[in-house]
A and B are shown apart, each in its own frame.
Chain A
Amino acid sequence: MIIDHPLLGPRDASEFVYLGDASLIDRPNPDTEDASHAFYEYAYLRDNPAGLHRELWFHEAGDRSWLVVTRNTETHEITKVEFAKDVARLAGRSL
């Protein structure tokens, strides 16, 4: 596979390390009452879609950025690649 890095252009996926669903960015607030359940769902439950999947890849043999790649799990077609840092900020993550 080839991941079209937002800055570096097309790079072989073997330069990257895969983590999983980009929902891992959405770490729950640990201070809420149901934090334990929220963390269980965060850590263990997945949509695992057959189709478009937003997922995290780390450019290990590249610029060391975490990317959010939107990829079709049935065809492997990649339609979007973003910096995870930007996605996280958009999701309201900060410090």
Chain B
Amino acid sequence: MSSAKNRLTGGQIDHSQSLNFSFDGRRYTGHPGDTLASALLANGVRLMGRSFKYHRPRGPFSAGSQEPNALVELRNGALREPNTRATTAELFDGLSATSQNRIGSLKFDVLAVNDLMSNFLTAGFYYKTFMWPAAFWEKLYEPVIRRAAGLGAMSEKDDPDVYDKGFLHCDLLVIGSGPSGLMAALTAARSGADVILADEDFKLGGQLNSETLTIADQSGADWAAATVAELATYPNVRLMPRTTVIGAFDHGIYGAVERLGDHLSVSEADKPRQILWRIYAGKTVLAAGAIERPIAFENNDRPGIMLASALRSYANRFAVAVDQRAVVFANNDDAHRTAQDLHAKGVQVIVVDVRPDAPMSMDFEVLRGAQVINTTGRLGLRFVDVQLQDGSTRIIECGALGVSGGWNPNVHLTCHQRGRPVWNAQQQAFVPGDMPAGMLVAGAAAGAMSTYDALATGVTAAAQALDLSANLPDVPAAENAPVEITPFWYVQGASRAWVDQQNDVTVKDVKLSHQEGFRSVEHLKRYTTLGMATDQGKTSNLLGMAIMAELEDKPIEAVGTTIFRPPYTPVAIGAFAGRHREQEFHPKRLTPSHKWAEEQGAVFVEVGNWMRAQWYPRSGETTWRDSVDREVLATRNSVGVCDVTTLGKIDVQGSDAAAFLNKVYCNGFAKLAVGKVRYGVMLREDGIAKDDGTAARLAEDHFVVTTTTANAVSVYRHMEFVHQCLCPDMDVQMISTTDAWAQFSVAGPNSRHVLQKIVDQDISNDAFPFMACANITICGGLRARLFRISFSGELAYEIAVPTAYGDALIRRLMEVGADYDISPYGTEALSVMRIEKGHAAGNELNGTTTAQNLGLGRMVSTKKDSIGAVLSRREGLNAPGDLRQVGIKPVNLDDKVPAGAHLMNAQGPVDATHDQGYVTSACFSPTLGHHIGLGFVKDGANRLGETLRLVSPLTDVDITVELCSPHFVDPEGERLRV
């Protein structure tokens, strides 16, 4: 059935089905169970990429997520995903991949010229040059460097896939489904604990799928499949293949990415491509196995050269012989298993072992005490030069070279809370040191390298984690060979011997780093970029350190170790964002009149998460100013209505409610009469204005406090702080009711007439004077609240009803107000009117202004203690001539006053040292017929009438203005009291 030239029989793939795919436009076939890399190798394709710096030809170096070399752009168009590891990309029908980081074709990459220049492009070369002339860096050098650098290219199109986030809880999280992970999960499952078993691979079983070893007289892979099947029968077990645990965070929280759509030709509508899970694990068993490490030698980076275990994995699991002739270069016994397995698959194999006493084999040739000293083959390995024990050289023709320098326990996740692995001399590897609380390590990740030890430590780790002693599963029979290894890191004399394959860091670079004093591990890493590539140096870090240790003449553990950081493998940014993107970045809050406003064709504006009507255009109006001016004039001349529900509303009750408000507001509230509202300013403890609003006393022990829209949440939190932390015995209870009440401002000289039509009680000026408040009913009995307060400066009320009635109320108000040409107004008109009236808002309450700055200094009571009172009296906040809020009007009435402009003395220099203040808010005042502004000016209160220069060099404005009272309209406040 299979026609691919390097395809073997057997393995963990489904030979009965074929999948079509393409790479760089050429079409191939593979099988379910293949990765892109295994399918390409089966088809005889070894060249899959180019290295980062020298653009060297590269093929797969591994068969897993540690892959540094075989990175491709997967899929097309907006779905293009750069830097995808061919070694983990699950093959699907129609898969299309393209090679990356090349100019020209993969075989003839123009930038391969860098390789010829490599002698000049050593570690750190760019720190030493490109300095002259200074301006050339951005214009010339950097663009060239940037274009050559980078790996794959983004599509620059919006990601069409969706991502979910989720939350899982378990007693035991098992990371990795090899022998130790499976036994840990089984142990926990049988105890009834809630277990999650997560593995990055699409097939559970871990290393067992790549081995020919037996467990309990079954093949390892069959044993794994049977164990997985048993686990699947437990309701308390959640099996999560295709799920990479990316990070170990505080207190047993793990991040995990589950890939649901990456192996599908077309993602399902509405279904996420990936899910970012936050897993809350009582305990965790890390059973992440081990990663084989290479040996560095001259030209050790050609396609066809890979980790010995990768050759084994390709042969056993993926049924691929990378080439019919292979060499294995090693310093340990495990690599001989690779040779044995390849031999069993009919591959002609020779082992080159640096150890003079390496074990011999009946099946294949072993060259003891020998080393690979060079390789040749332009786009793929053709010959291996071996220096034999006697010093002679033997050239071996082959297309595959497996390298093994031993195995490193996969300690990545143990380091995420900055735990440092410790050196184990017997294993010649770093094993887990300090670990995140609640984490235990089992199997090869803990340095238990034999299959039996892996199985056994899986049981003990789970038992220890869950405190189990009885009914533990028996450990099945399995090989239990000790680790036999002689440390060997790189072939002496080699210089163009790659340590970090992706970032093109060679032995020579490490030596240069040492020579120039960059000797600590962190300096080495940063100076050479060792371990900084997309694989985080999973196969290269230790090699680099070992070379440095030799140069320093120190043991490896004395050189130190770099720690790994999350994520374990790179994660799509989309997965971290989940659904919160574009329009759904934040939820929306809609006002009670939203539906009605939509019907009116209102233009909406984002105010925090709220959507508020900004203005209500009418036919014939061509600019927003037309609408806003009309709304202002309609309100000032007759009556307008505006939804002000967004203001924070905090219900404050209790026998100490008044005393409490006296504490949080700088002005007095203790003596406020029932049925009255008072304007209040809250200070922060540092004496700066925090928020302003009103408090209405509905009963002796009941207030309704309003806050600005922006500060609703933080003011509530602050009030709870004052209560719980500073005055815990005060009898006061607070709850936010912002969403519970629909509130409308009804403003204008005719507002009373309109309201009286719906309010069941008398609201004449005598019965309901300025600053009155009351619980009332409207329209024949609906409970409501009425406040006679004004932001616009007109006779005005705010009326509140339970939110569900807000829609009905706005419609009724418009109905009964028709006789008075009632006009809805939006936030723009609201803002214009408050500027005309000189009321401070967000632009003035900017977190740096004091009550004095706002012209409200006298509100800060000296007769009582309130939050912020003491520090508001500091000298720097009360300096003579400090900023005061003023009104600003242009001398030439046609001039526009821009907010953000700065004020300068009419005569004198225009620069920062002569700055007199700035404009906080500005608008066109339809009431006055010209632009006006509010601003802060040094000694402003004493400079009314003075002419100043207003400059905004950013927007090319330079005009003359006059300072005036900020109360442009009705400065005496007569209108709101009629």
Contacts and interface: CB of A to CB of B under 8 A. Distances in A.
Direct interface between A and B, CB < 8 A: yes
A39 B684 CA distance: 12
Interface stretch (B247-255, B755-763, B788-796, B827-835): B247-255
Contacts of B417: 75
Contacts of A78: 251
B936 interface: no
Interface residues of B, number: 30
A43 to B, nearest CB: 5
A93 B728 CA distance: 7
A60 B713 CA distance: 9
B685 interface: yes
B721 interface: yes
B717 A17 contact: yes
A39 B867 CA distance: 11
B726 A27 contact: yes
Interface string B635-673: 000000000000000000000100100000000000000
A84 interface: yes
Contacts of B865: 30-31
Contacts of A89: 728-729
B871 interface: yes
Nearest to B713: A60
Interface in B248-265: 249-253
Interface residues of A, number: 38
A36 B865 CA distance: 13
Contact of A84 (B659, B725, B869): B725
B728 A85 contact: yes
Nearest to A94: B729
B724 A65 contact: yes
Contact of B870 (A39, A64, A88): A39
A63 B85 CA distance: 46
A66 B725 contact: yes
Contact of B726 (A2, A64, A77, A93): A93
A95 interface: yes
The 6 closest A-B pairs by CB, nearest first: A2-B251, A94-B729, A1-B250, A66-B724, A39-B870, A85-B728
Contacts of B249: 1
Contacts of B595: none
A85 to B, nearest CB: 4
Given A64-B720, A88-B725, 10 more contacts: A1-B251, A17-B717, A28-B870, A36-B870, A78-B251, A85-B725, A88-B726, A89-B728, A89-B729, A94-B729
A3 B870 CA distance: 34
Contact of B871 (A12, A17, A39, A88): A39
Interface string B152-171: 00000000000000000000
B250 A2 contact: yes
A77 B730 CA distance: 33
Interface string B410-425: 0000000100000000
Contacts of A46: none
Contacts of A1: 249-251, 253
A58 B728 contact: no
A69 interface: no
A40 B656 CA distance: 28
Interface string A19-59: 10000110110110001100110110000000000001010
Contacts of B717: 17, 58, 60
Nearest to B251: A2
A57 to B, nearest CB: 11
B437 interface: yes
